[in-house]
Amino acid sequence: MSQLKPTRHQTQSALDELSSQLYDELKQSSLKHWLDDHKVAKKLDQKIQEWAFQAKSSLDQQHPYAMAQQQLEHWLALKHWEQGDFVQFHTEYAAFMQTLGIPEFTEMWQQSQQSLLTEQQRQLHIELFKGKWQRKLTEAIAHWEFEQLRLQRDAFLDEIKDYLATLSKMVKHHDGVGFETGIFLDYSKGQLTEHDVQNFEQWANYLEQDRALKRLCQMIGSAQPNMPRKCISAQLEQEPQQLIHTPMAQEEITGIKLAQELSMALPSELALLADPDLQVLFDLKYLESNLMSFNRHGQQQGRVIEDPRHTQRRVGQKGPMIVCLDTSGSMNGQPELISKAICLYLSIRALKEKRAMYLVNFSTNLTALNLQHNSALDDVIHFLGQSFHGGTDIIPAMNHAVDMLKQPNFVHADVVVISDFIMGQLTEELMQEITHFKQQGNGFYAVAIGNYKLDHLDDSLFDHQWVYQSATGEVQKMQ
């Protein structure tokens, strides 16, 4: 069956030729400067290799000559021919040649059909026609494969050009968002739409044009060692006394052990001293702490107090971050664009520094994105493109953030809330949980987006609070 298909060498040669054409067309395009970038060129090589592998795998599907191939394989395997076999062979052979646009009604064939040839001559003619059928079929399959690869190559070339064009647009804003070519290459799936790119450019423009906003982004989170948190008196709860097993309270015999304690040595060990010949053995066992002795334990009451300093992250140490982004109706417009620009900056920093980050988009409902689980820059941009534009309910978002603080990967995370804070108060139970986490060293920050001073920010909830005056582009730190 495989002998009728183009060889792997032929298929690979076709792929090599088409891959070479890809590079030639890129060199002639307006994007050719990217080929001089070592990291981009390496990424392109990887993409082309992946495309070649997938293209080769796609050729395993049935080609349009599968029936003619099965027919020919039947005739190649047939050992004894009857008169009816010659007629059927001719019919199938002529049908195949007709699909190629090659009529096959030669005088020689007509003579063999009319029994004008001897049996030996007929067999010779059959072998000749089988050879021609096999050669034409192999050529037809090879041509079909090449055409399929060419079509795939054209589609892949368009994809590569879109990818490089997107990269060209995004790197223009590297100063504003701390973006580097390497970040896009390492953390992008190359699946951004034109709308995604427009959103990215819009958010990046805010960061580029507003230095105060960018400085605010740099202050948010736990990366600033000169930003002390508010002191919260941590009252240790009086735990009830517990019974603690300890060898210091030797109240009862619990077994046998090897030791160097004469007072606990077994009588059989002390008996060695009664025999002068065995005294040397006793002395040796004593020096090596190998005397068989009674093991005694007891219990006493006490409290186990855990020092929280052993579990807290030091202030200023970079750690995970949970960002709650308000996309309710009151944030619609410029406030939402500014808040998403902040989230974009923080997300890119997290990707660069390989810090775990958890994004919560909330209104009355919420969605979330965990940047720790192999997420890419594409996922961040898609996620930030979502908006609810409904009512504002911060309680589900804060509940979700507090639940994440209980997860092992976010136990030392800081929580940042970006909103206009036109919302109700948190429940007493939720405030108690937040206070507990603040005592453990978790930071809580508020970034208010609005055109006026928001006096109703909760001083007891947030360690640090900023107000971004969207009308003037000023950032005010609230004490």
Tokens of 90: 């001719």
- What is the percent of the chain where pLDDT is above 90? 15
Structural domain boundaries of the chain?
Answer: 1-171, 242-304, 313-478
The residues pairing with 322 across neighbouring beta strands, listed in sequence order, are: 358, 415
Angle (CA) 447 448 451, round 5°:
145
Provide mean pLDDT across the span 424-436: 88
d(CA 220, CA 224): 8
Q: Does the pLDDT value for residue 133 go beyond 80?
A: yes
The secondary element (H helix, E strand) that includes residue 295 is strand 291-302
More confident site: 375 or 239: 375
To the nearest whole number, what is the mean pLDDT of the chain?
79
Phi, psi of 433 (to 5 degrees): -65, -40
**Beta carbons of 72 and 133 less than 8 angstroms apart:** yes
**Beta carbons of 224 and 316 less than 8 angstroms apart:** yes
If DSSP codes are grouped into helix, strand and coil, which group holds residue 225?
A: coil
**Beta carbons of 18 and 48 less than 8 angstroms apart:** no
Contacts of 431 (CB under 8 A, 6+ apart): 460, 461
Residue at token pair 């930030």: 384
d(CA 99, CA 68): 10
Q: Does the pLDDT value for residue 416 go beyond 90?
A: yes
Is the domain spanning 313-478 CATH 3.40.50.150? The answer is: no
The 10s digit of each residue's pLDDT in 284-297 is 778 777 788 878 76
Tokens of 420: 């206009």
> What's the alpha-carbon Rg for the chain, to the nearest Å?
39
Q: Does the pLDDT value for residue 200 go beyond 50?
A: yes
d(CA 320, CA 446): 17
The 10s digit of each residue's pLDDT in 351-361 is 888 888 999 99
Q: Does the pLDDT value for residue 378 go beyond 50?
A: yes
- Cα first-last separation, the chain: 80
The residues pairing with 366 across neighbouring beta strands, listed in sequence order, are: 362
d(CA 268, CA 255): 16
More confident site: 258 or 298: 258
Residue at token pair 């099965």: 70
d(CA 426, CA 418): 16
Residue 320's closest CA among 255, 411, 452, 234?
Answer: 411
